[in-house]
């Protein structure tokens, strides 16, 4: 007798086939994308590409922009993990590395423009790859710093019992990194990766289309398309470009960030399992794919087992007596490197001083006035951002259902270039009696508040479930809950968010205080406006001095504010 299968049984049998076919199709599409990008990058260089206003060009432009942001993010992740690791475990250079990181994340993108673009074009002449790498490195400078701060903060707040367990089981450095440090910092890294990619979209317009002295750089991409449309007042083009960007952001959230967030939920440091877990249908489907399972079983599992077996053999071997002779070459090499570094730094300093002599006293006084004005705007934007992002971020982090809705919306708002909305915002401010002075604060707020929001969400998500249950069991009031559980739990993440938001506000000043629309340039008193104007007119002496002033201000704030807050988070507000 022939047995008939139900619809559910048929779906259960056929679904793995369609899932594996989809994964194979994605692999072929990725292979074709790599070939297309390689063909374009290795072609003849064209610095100023004519940007087509037709919506039909948007898919190709979007593809180029996605590749630039993806490559810049991968570089940012590798650099941030390495930099954060070195800063966390080297007390002698920790303060210097943190100060340098704070300076670099505060320097505007345009301050990197001359050196980055000229260096890349000179290193890779005759190929489009040189110009593309210049744009990618500019995007990199807007993505990397908050990830590095997040990883450093996670390493400094590792629970002591986990560190003791790693020492007890004699973990090697690789095992400690791969099985303890990276998993513990996964939640912070993921949420900061989200805001970093959003920051890449935010500065995409400045990185794909800019003027450097007499040279005009225009790369095919969604950022240059939006900037061209905004400059011409092309409302239709801005709408189409905005729709394409929103579609990419939503697709990225559903295909990448949502599965990764659901996967990272298992790394929460807690003793009681949460009753409400973040879920992802795509992650569930991938975990049941026969192709993915076959790759894990045939390739990844043997490789991992081989690595750990070799590490175990190295740990089991008795330590060898050090050979004193080897110290002489290493010391000699270190001495040579130090001498070369001193020569390079000295030569650069002499050239910089020669360039700074061209700045007059009146120009210096104007730069100092602009620095004071920008400093006030940065702090006002931080206070406004913290006032709403802390309660909203805690609510999203505590409620996965709310996060499912709010997270894509926050990504869209954080990713959309504020410069595309700024003409409308500026017109509204002018009508109510405001101007670019107030509008620059609003634009800084649009570019920096997301650093605080996403870090607070990460901190609220990482709070152990048993602490939440204890506060409920003892009937804490809302104030007691905030004072004893929420604020201490999110404090290390909040410090990271405030530090990166501060740097982002300084960075955003280049477009907040100096704006071009319909052939007109609107600017207000501020260091960001002076940097943008110097970059447009090729005034490298003023550009250099403005960058130095900004760096000195950032170092001072780092010493007086952020370093004490990091020590407080490390010593007091950490899981025991």
Q: What φ, ψ does residue 332 adopt, rounded to 5°?
A: -65, -45
Domain-embedded: residue 319: no
E-strand stretches of 209-366? 209-212, 215-218
Prediction pTM value:
0.74
Region 347-364: mean pLDDT is 76
- Its domain, for residue 448, covers 15-26+46-269+331-571
pLDDT for the residue 391: 93
116-175 pLDDT, tens digit per residue, is 766 777 777 777 788 888 888 888 887 888 899 889 988 988 888 888 888 888 887 888
530 is a domain residue: yes
**315 pLDDT higher than 70:** no
**Does residue 248 form part of some domain?**
yes
- The CATH number that applies at residue 382 is 1.10.3720.10
Of 454, 551, 556, 443, the C-alpha closest to 496 is 454
Within 10 angstroms of residue 483's Cβ, the number of other Cβ atoms is 12
User: Which percentage of the chain shows pLDDT scores above 90?
Assistant: 10
Instruction: Give how far Cα 78 sits from Cα of 176, 229, 258, Å.
Output: 17, 35, 21
In this prediction, residue 304 carries a pLDDT of: 67
Q: What pLDDT shows up at residue 330?
A: 59
CA distances from 355 to 5, 214, 331, 540 (A): 81, 19, 36, 8
Q: Who wins on pLDDT, 336 or 445?
A: 445
What are the Cα distances from residue 480, in Å, to 389, 408, 477? 20, 31, 5
How many folded domains does the chain comprise? 1
Is residue 394 included in any domain, yes or no? yes
Q: What is the pLDDT of residue 86?
A: 92
Q: Looking at 342-346, 447-451, 515-519, 570-574, which range is the least confident one? A: 515-519
Contact call for residues 573 and 492 (beta carbons, < 8 A): yes
Identify the band that residue 324 occupies on the pLDDT scale cut at 50, 70 and 90.
very low
Give the separation between CA 322 and CA 574, rounded to whole angstroms: 38
Contact indicator for 549, 365 with CB cutoff of 8 Å: no
Q: Is residue 284 part of a domain?
A: no
pLDDT in tens, 69-85: 999 999 999 999 999 99
For residue 18, pLDDT over 80 is answered with no
Residue 522 lies in a domain: yes
Q: Which residue has the higher pLDDT, 507 or 186?
A: 186
Question: Is the separation of the CB atoms in 50 and 220 below 8 Å?
Answer: no
Is residue 290, in this structure, part of any structural domain at all? no
Residue 539 predicted with pLDDT over 70: yes
Q: Provide the 10 A C-beta neighbour count for residue 249.
A: 22
- The pLDDT of 295-319, averaged and rounded, is 65
């Amino acid at each position: 007798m022939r047995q008939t299968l139900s619809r559910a049984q048929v779906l259960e049998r056929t679904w793995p086939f369609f899932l594996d076919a989809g994964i194979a199709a994605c692999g072929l599409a990725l292979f074709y994308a790599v070939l297309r990008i390689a063909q374009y990058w290795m072609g003849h260089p064209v610095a100023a590409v004519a940007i087509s206003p037709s919506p039909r060009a948007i898919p190709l432009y979007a593809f180029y922009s996605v590749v630039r942001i993806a490559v810049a993010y991968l570089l940012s992740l590798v650099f941030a993990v390495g930099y954060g690791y070195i800063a966390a475990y080297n007390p002698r250079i920790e303060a210097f590395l943190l100060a340098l990181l704070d300076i670099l994340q505060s320097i505007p993108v345009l301050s990197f423009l001359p050196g980055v673009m000229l260096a890349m074009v000179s290193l890779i002449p005759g190929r489009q790859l040189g110009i593309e790498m210049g744009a990618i490195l500019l995007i990199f400078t807007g993505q990397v710093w908050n990830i590095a701060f997040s990883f450093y903060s996670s390493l400094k707040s590792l629970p002591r019992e986990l560190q003791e367990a790693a020492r007890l089981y004699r973990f090697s450095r690789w095992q400690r990194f791969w099985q303890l440090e990276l998993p513990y910092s996964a939640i912070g890294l993921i949420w900061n990766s989200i805001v970093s990619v959003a920051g890449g979209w935010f500065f995409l317009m400045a990185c794909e289309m800019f003027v450097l002295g007499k040279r005009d750089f225009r790369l095919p991409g969604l950022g240059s398309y939006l900037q061209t449309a905004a400059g011409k007042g092309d409302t239709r083009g801005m709408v189409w470009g905005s729709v394409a960007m929103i579609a990419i952001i939503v697709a990225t959230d559903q295909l990448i960030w949502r599965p990764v967030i659901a996967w990272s939920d298992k790394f929460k440091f807690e003793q009681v399992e949460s009753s409400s877990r973040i879920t992802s249908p795509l992650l569930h489907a991938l975990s049941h794919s026969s192709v993915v399972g076959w790759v894990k079983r045939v390739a990844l599992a043997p490789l991992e087992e081989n690595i750990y077996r070799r590490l175990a053999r190295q740990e089991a071997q008795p330590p060898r007596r050090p050979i004193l002779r080897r110290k002489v070459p290493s010391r000699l090499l270190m001495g040579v490197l130090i001498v070369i570094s001193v020569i390079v730094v000295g030569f650069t300093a002499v050239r910089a001083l020669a360039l700074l002599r061209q700045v007059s006293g009146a120009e210096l006084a104007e730069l100092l006035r602009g620095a004071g004005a920008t400093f006030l705007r940065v702090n006002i934007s931080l206070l406004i951002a913290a006032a709403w992002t802390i309660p909203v971020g805690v609510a999203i982090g505590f409620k996965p259902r709310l996060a499912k809705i709010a997270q894509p919306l926050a990504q869209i708002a954080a990713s959309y270039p504020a410069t595309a909305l700024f003409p409308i915002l500026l017109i509204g401010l002018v009508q109510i009696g405001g101007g670019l002075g107030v509008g620059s604060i609003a634009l800084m707020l649009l570019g920096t508040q997301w650093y605080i929001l996403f870090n607070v969400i990460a901190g609220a998500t990482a709070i152990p479930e048993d602490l939440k249950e204890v506060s409920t069991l003892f009937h804490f009031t809302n104030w007691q809950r905030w004072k004893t559980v929420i604020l201490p739990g999110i404090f290390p993440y909040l410090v990271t968010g405030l530090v990166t938001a501060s740097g982002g506000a300084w960075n955003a000043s280049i477009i907040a205080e100096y704006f071009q629309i319909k052939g007109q340039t609107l600017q207000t008193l501020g260091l960001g406006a002076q940097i943008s104007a110097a970059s447009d007119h090729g005034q490298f002496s003023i550009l250099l001095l403005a960058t130095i002033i900004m760096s000195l201000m950032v170092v001072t704030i780092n010493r007086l504010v952020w370093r004490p807050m990091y020590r407080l988070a490390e010593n007091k507000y950490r899981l025991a």
